[in-house]
Chain A
């Protein structure tokens, strides 16, 4: 596959916001081909041969880091994982110092997760590598939105015209923001559903419908996307208890029945079973596509690395 224009402008993937629909489609097409390749058991070990990919994680993560690691290795990159402990990043100078260190190591592709919104953008101004945002604060998680879109497209055959309900703690969710931007750009109808204390200010201005009740929020939905309720948020009193949250906003069979009969259920993981999702739903092979999301994650990350490596060659 070849592209006549850079599909990740600037040579980084920092956010979905700002990507044009053709860019998104091109990434999804490429990811689809990697999904097929991965299922066939073949690898493509020459594409990133000699390239160094560093997974720089300032926040704990198992699945995203592993997924990027696998994607990089399948394309032949040298992959290094750097975990920076939380205590040493409370002094933010570390971020700039880290950037200098990475420059000295001649890293080509830098995957960053950080608890602060905008941290990957700041790093991208200071490092020579292509930066991929693997989740920053409550801002964005672009590869998650791409893998979600790929999963939906494979199950539903399209994105346009679908009704997607994103439910739960939208306020703190970078996954929700990236999905809102991506799905809206691709002409899906996006709803966000949650208690008003967990819905960000002026969310409707991002082009979504806002619902505070699951029955209305899920009515006629093709896709039900559950978000992780970050339990530490309850300390701030945003929701009074997990049992109350589950009663009104947790996805169980009764609430799922309000969606379309063939609606699929998604979750970015890790799940809080019994808080935002009932195990019976999470484990239902008829409805839950949570396993497929993980599989598509590797394919999407391979596509992103591939596209950025083309940028590296273009600029070499």
Chain B
């Protein structure tokens, strides 16, 4: 949407013999799709017009390009971890065409000029719509709310302090209240900061055995409960990121039933891994929030299936070896997630927990609707953002051999079924 308009003289492309999957309309049928001028022109029983290029999908799945509503970029400030160009490369390889970037860069995205810098760098890649969040508070320090109006005008997709929780109840109240004026919402990292301070793993038997400082699981539900009360108080819209515990999900489920403006996402580690992945102090599995016991993982899967969770985001956090080759408590938290987002999500389809369309909805149409984007669907007039993938083809995640710069995958060694064959952004092939 923020990218320069695609070249209208570009040759139209017909992708035929595909399994068309459009979660927004429920379409799951063989057919073709015609792309022209950066947009989808026709879907279904389409034949190639004069002069169009034709691609035979050989029956592979064709879905809207993935919309990732939570990722961190190393640029500006930490280019040694990842640049926006390398992030875009990894996103394309993962079938992702929209990435919402967290504002915890250096400097933070609390100023329209810095936010526009990120937008421009994203546009320059030509691979993704890079949509930055504006900082919810100045310097992401959780004290005073940032300039939502100016940031929104500059292109902020919504407001968040990113990897940091807004711990002060008054500040959060003001943020939720003020964001309403601009038709926007606030994304919270739901973790009570005082309880989480210094923690490196989920408090419990494993952390006790490993001698690691723990974060109680209740720290998540506690902030979720508070912010639900503030959403009720203000009528504002709160979105909880990477929700990972049964207790917090139960609160969110109840708030939705009450009709409050509460939404949430989770990330693949929280439905694919449990805390045992950190055994032997594996710092690549050190995440924020920390990986949870198996019962919580199962609760996340259940909440994906029953619709409580609105989106699956990559929660991509690039780190280099020096950030991770440290004693566990000192290592940085966070893992890469772009290249593995589709594959790990499809594991829940192969495992029988989610239908293919429901899984894709969590990666495309539902986050797109939440963010108010025209993408995320296969419909005439929508941006020609597409992913072509083979549902069963296997591959193995190998840290060191992943696309892009950052290699700190918590899924290192994981065998996945479901491989991206091609990615199109505004009609242009950017991967495969």
Instruction: Give A residues with C-beta under 8 Å from B.
Output: 17, 92-93, 95-96, 114, 116-119, 121-122, 136-140, 174, 177, 200-203, 205-206
Contacts and interface: CB of A to CB of B under 8 A. Distances in A.
Contact of B281 (A95, A118, A138, A174): A118
A205 B205 contact: yes
A140 B207 CA distance: 13
B209 interface: yes
B330 interface: yes
Nearest to B208: A200
B186 to A, nearest CB: 31
Given A117-B211, A117-B281, 13 more contacts: A92-B325, A92-B331, A93-B322, A95-B326, A118-B328, A138-B212, A138-B213, A201-B204, A201-B205, A201-B208, A201-B214, A201-B216, A206-B208
B203 interface: yes
A114 B203 CA distance: 22
Contact of B280 (A95, A121, A136, A200): A121
Contacts of B213: 138
Contacts, number: 72
A202 B210 CA distance: 13
B327 interface: yes
Contacts of B328: 116-118
Contact of B330 (A92, A139, A206): A92
A92 B326 contact: yes
A139 B330 CA distance: 14
B204 A116 contact: no
Contacts of B281: 117-118, 121-122
A93 to B, nearest CB: 6
A274 to B, nearest CB: 28
B329 interface: yes
A177 B209 contact: yes
B205 A202 contact: yes
A94 to B, nearest CB: 10
Contact of A137 (B214, B326, B329): B329
A83 to B, nearest CB: 18
Contacts of A122: 281, 325-327
Contacts of B205: 201-202, 205-206
Interface in B111-125: none
B211 A138 contact: yes
6 contacts: A93-B326, A114-B327, A117-B212, A121-B281, A137-B329, A138-B212
A187 to B, nearest CB: 19
B327 A119 contact: yes
Contacts of B204: 201-202
A119 B326 CA distance: 8
Contacts of A119: 327
Contacts of A17: 209
Interface string B328-362: 11110000000000000000000000000000000
Most-contacted residue by chain A among B212, B216, B326 (CB, 10 A): B326
A108 B209 CA distance: 28
Given A92-B327, A116-B330, A140 B208 contact: no
Nearest to A172: B211
A196 B326 CA distance: 31
Nearest to A123: B327
A202 B211 contact: no
A273 to B, nearest CB: 27
Q: What 10 pairs across the A-B complex have the smallest Cβ distances?
A: A139-B211, A116-B327, A118-B281, A117-B211, A92-B326, A138-B211, A200-B208, A202-B205, A119-B327, A205-B205
B325 to A, nearest CB: 6
Contact of B327 (A118, A140, A174): A118
A201 B216 CA distance: 9
Contacts of A202: 204-205, 208
B205 to A, nearest CB: 4
A202 B329 CA distance: 20
A170 B69 CA distance: 43
A201 B330 contact: no
Contacts of A121: 280-281
A17 B206 CA distance: 12
Contacts of B330: 92, 116
A174 B203 contact: no
Most-contacted residue by chain B among A17, A119, A136 (CB, 10 A): A119
Contacts of A96: 325
Contact of A139 (B210, B216, B326): B210
B226 to A, nearest CB: 23
Nearest to B212: A117
Nearest to A94: B326
A177 B326 CA distance: 22
A201 B205 CA distance: 6
A140 B211 contact: yes
Contacts of B209: 17, 177, 206
Most-contacted residue by chain A among B209, B326, B328 (CB, 10 A): B209
Contacts of B331: 92
Given A201-B205, A205-B205, A174 B325 contact: no
Contact of B207 (A116, A136, A201): A201
A6 B409 CA distance: 34
A92 B205 CA distance: 26
A275 to B, nearest CB: 23
Nearest to B282: A118
A136 B211 contact: yes
B5 to A, nearest CB: 47
B194 to A, nearest CB: 12
Contacts of B210: 117-118, 139
Interface in B275-298: 280-281
Given A177-B209, A202-B204, A205-B205, A117 B214 contact: no
B327 A201 contact: no
Contacts of B207: 201
A174 B212 CA distance: 11
Contacts of B208: 177, 200-203, 205-206
Interface in B304-322: 322
A136 B203 CA distance: 19
A94 B328 CA distance: 14
